[in-house]
């Protein structure tokens, strides 16, 4: 028996435990979320790459103007009452009121989109048609968002991540078929409706919930205390993300819009890989701690999420910035090279802006919703002033305006989050140090291999650089997790 106890049982137990630990990590909500977002961004790249073969940069800019407005209104549906219901201690009595509030926001956005489309009919028929075609999406998204928050409340974060991947896959397939059939830029519009249909079907089946015809003023009054500050913040955030597109469309032309959005798509891809799942998980966990009265644990959530998120994001942004020109030629073609400088500038902006990514859950879950709103308002004001001063003159100038906004948001976020959550500068530096060192290593490696990559040729050199960076990145993240240097965020 001693032989069995000492020789076989521990060994078997250990050998069986290791695969289980690996499986647990691979199926964790954060890994599933990041993996799904990564796949979604690959699909988004594929969409633009395919579209670039059928649509010129000006046509892409035309679609971008309509889609930017649509995204702004859809984001308002997903913000405010969405988070208010997540926080609600009496969810089932307030959820119907929350839905009709979200639907009213979506209906308002759809009406504005339709009005803009009608006004544009006399000056730009194609742009007008894009606005009119996209107008219903904001209203239709309300039911999807409402069902999704049921899943988030039940901690079914994996389902939310996976059906987002499924919908973007459907969008890619529909877009490609329509482009081949000669539908031009409207193929992108049809793709958005394909994504909406999949999201609608899966979210509805998974949550098995339908809103009732009930609206309570008291419930609305309680929900709006959370919703209105976040709604204002979301409006400002979307204006920050898409304001440059709208300004360039008004003052310049759709070619500049296409260059800016093409560059923004690549930098935003890297950011969304981390921002989206991290925000979802942080909101879920922080709202749980808030309802349990465990406000002192919000600090550890911030440090844990920021440390791991930066380790994923910053090296990717460094790589995209250094390899921007080669990426544009590979992904699109030489006619899209005006987007390359935009990529470099916006990668810097996204890296700085990461420091403010958890501002909303950090403040709202402490009952300080107005604080985060003023931070976003100040950063947006800096952005608008920069756009009005020099940002409206070209895509690169608009990108520098965005960087200024990110810097203001980062500084102010640190100024309000650190004292509020009792985070010391030393603790923050310790959490972000692994990401900083890995990013510097990637930058130095890319600089030192510049000549070698040039000798290999543009495509081969780029692919070799990406392969090397991925290897270093995966090994470093795995070692940091194994040694406890960083922790995997959890809902």
Identify each DSSP E strand in 81-228 by its residue range.
none
Residues 424 and 336 in one domain: yes
Q: What is the pLDDT of residue 24?
A: 55
Buried b (16+ CB within 10 A) or exposed e, 296-324: eebbebbbbbbbbbbbbbbbbbbbbbbbb
Residues 267 and 161 in one domain: no
Residues 434 and 342 in one domain: yes
Q: What is the pLDDT of residue 70?
A: 92
* Residue where a domain stops, chosen among 191, 212, 227: 227
Identify the CA nearest to 431 among candidates 315, 319, 299, 316.
299
Say whether 54 sits in a helix, a strand or coil: coil
Position 440 in a domain: yes
Q: What is the pLDDT of residue 21?
A: 55
Position 235 in a domain: no
Domain membership of residue 269 as a residue range: 252-491
pTM: 0.71
Residue 207 neighbours by CB distance under 10 Å? 19
Tell me how far apart the alpha carbons of residues 234 and 230 are, in angstroms, rounded to a whole number: 6
Position 57 in a domain: yes
Residues 191 and 268 in one domain: no
Position 240 in a domain: no
* Residue where a domain stops, chosen among 175, 192, 227: 227
184: left (phi over 0), alpha (psi -120 to 50) or beta: left
Check if the beta carbon of residue 24 is closer than 8 Å to that of residue 306: no
Tokens of 51: 């579209």
Tell me how far apart the alpha carbons of residues 110 and 116 are, in angstroms, rounded to a whole number: 10
Residues 269 and 394 in one domain: yes
Identify the CA nearest to 245 among candidates 437, 387, 378, 345.
387
Residues 57 and 152 in one domain: yes
Number of structural domains (the chain) is 2
Residue 36 neighbours by CB distance under 10 Å? 23
Residue 121 DSSP one-character state: T
Check if the beta carbon of residue 155 is closer than 8 Å to that of residue 217: no
Q: What is the pLDDT of residue 25?
A: 53
Identify the CA nearest to 372 among candidates 438, 254, 279.
279
Tell me how far apart the alpha carbons of residues 406 and 237 are, in angstroms, rounded to a whole number: 11
Q: What is the pLDDT of residue 250?
A: 67
Position 308 in a domain: yes
Tell me how far apart the alpha carbons of residues 34 and 273 are, in angstroms, rounded to a whole number: 6
Residues 180 and 328 in one domain: no
Residues 218 and 258 in one domain: no
Position 238 in a domain: no
Which residue reads 């459907």 in tokens? 170
Q: What is the pLDDT of residue 9?
A: 43
Residues 284 and 338 in one domain: yes
Check if the beta carbon of residue 440 is closer than 8 Å to that of residue 432: no
- First-to-last C-alpha distance (Å) of the chain: 43
Q: What is the pLDDT of residue 186?
A: 94
Q: What is the pLDDT of residue 17?
A: 56
Per-residue pLDDT for the chain (491 aa), expressed as one digit of tens each? 333 344 444 444 454 555 555 555 555 655 666 667 667 777 877 887 788 778 887 788 889 889 988 988 998 888 888 888 887 877 887 888 988 999 999 999 999 999 999 998 988 889 899 999 999 999 999 999 888 888 877 777 677 777 778 888 999 999 999 999 999 899 999 999 999 999 888 888 887 788 888 888 888 888 888 777 777 767 776 777 777 777 787 666 677 787 888 788 778 777 777 777 777 778 778 888 877 777 778 888 899 889 998 998 999 999 999 999 888 888 777 888 888 899 999 999 999 999 998 998 888 888 887 888 889 889 989 998 998 888 778 888 989 999 999 999 999 999 999 999 899 999 999 999 999 999 999 999 999 988 888 888 878 888 899 899 989 988 998 898 888 888 877 76
Position 379 in a domain: yes
* Residue where a domain stops, chosen among 227, 262, 294: 227
Check if the beta carbon of residue 91 is closer than 8 Å to that of residue 85: yes
Tokens of 440: 């510097």
Q: What is the pLDDT of residue 37?
A: 67
Residues 106 and 179 in one domain: yes
Q: What is the pLDDT of residue 130?
A: 94
Position 326 in a domain: yes
């Amino acid at each position: 028996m001693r032989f069995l106890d000492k020789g076989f049982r521990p060994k078997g137990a250990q050998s069986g435990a290791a695969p289980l630990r690996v499986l647990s990590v691979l199926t964790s909500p954060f890994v599933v979320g990041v993996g799904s977002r990564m796949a979604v961004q690959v699909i988004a790249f594929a969409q633009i790459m395919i579209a670039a073969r059928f649509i010129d940069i000006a046509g892409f800019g035309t679609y971008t103007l309509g889609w930017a407005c649509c995204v702004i209104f859809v984001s308002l549906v997903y913000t405010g009452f969405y988070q208010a219901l997540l926080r609600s201690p009496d969810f089932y009595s307030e959820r119907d009121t929350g839905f009709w509030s979200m639907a009213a926001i979506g209906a308002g956005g759809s009406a504005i989109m339709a009005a803009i489309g009608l006004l544009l009919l006399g000056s730009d028929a194609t742009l007008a048609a894009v606005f009119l075609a996209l107008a219903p999406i904001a209203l239709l998204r309300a039911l999807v968002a409402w069902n999704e928050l049921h899943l988030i409340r039940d901690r079914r974060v994996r389902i939310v991540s996976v059906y987002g991947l499924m919908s973007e896959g459907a969008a890619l397939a529909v877009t490609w078929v329509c482009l081949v059939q000669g539908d031009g830029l409207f193929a992108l519009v049809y793709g958005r409706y394909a994504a909406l249909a999949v999201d609608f079907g899966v979210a509805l089946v998974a949550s098995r919930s339908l809103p009732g015809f009930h609206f309570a003023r008291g419930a609305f009054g309680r929900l709006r205390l959370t919703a209105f500050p976040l709604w204002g913040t979301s409006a400002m955030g979307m204006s920050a993300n898409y304001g440059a597109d709208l300004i360039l469309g008004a003052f310049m032309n759709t070619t500049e819009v296409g260059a800016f959005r093409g560059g923004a798509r690549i930098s935003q891809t890297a950011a969304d890989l981390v921002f989206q799942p991290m925000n979802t998980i942080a909101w879920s966990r922080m709202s749980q701690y808030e309802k349990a009265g465990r406000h002192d644990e919000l600090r550890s959530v911030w440090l844990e999420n920021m440390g791991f998120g930066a380790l994923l994001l910053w090296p990717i942004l460094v790589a995209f910035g250094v390899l921007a020109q080669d990426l544009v030629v590979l992904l699109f073609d030489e006619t899209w090279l005006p987007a390359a400088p935009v990529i470099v500038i916006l990668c810097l902006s996204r890296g700085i802006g990461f420091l403010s990514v958890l501002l909303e859950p950090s403040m709202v879950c402490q009952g300080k919703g107005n604080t985060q709103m003023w931070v976003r308002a100040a950063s947006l004001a800096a952005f608008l002033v920069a756009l009005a001063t020099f940002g409206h003159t070209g895509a690169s100038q608009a990108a520098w305006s965005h960087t200024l906004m990110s810097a203001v948001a980062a500084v102010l976020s640190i100024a309000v989050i650190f004292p509020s959550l009792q985070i010391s500068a030393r603790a923050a530096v310790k959490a972000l140090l692994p990401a900083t060192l890995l990013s510097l290593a990637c930058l130095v490696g890319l600089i030192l291999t510049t000549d070698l990559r040039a000798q290999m040729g543009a495509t081969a050199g780029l692919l070799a650089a990406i392969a090397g960076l991925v290897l270093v990145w995966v090994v470093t993240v795995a070692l940091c997790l194994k040694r406890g240097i960083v922790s995997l965020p959890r809902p």
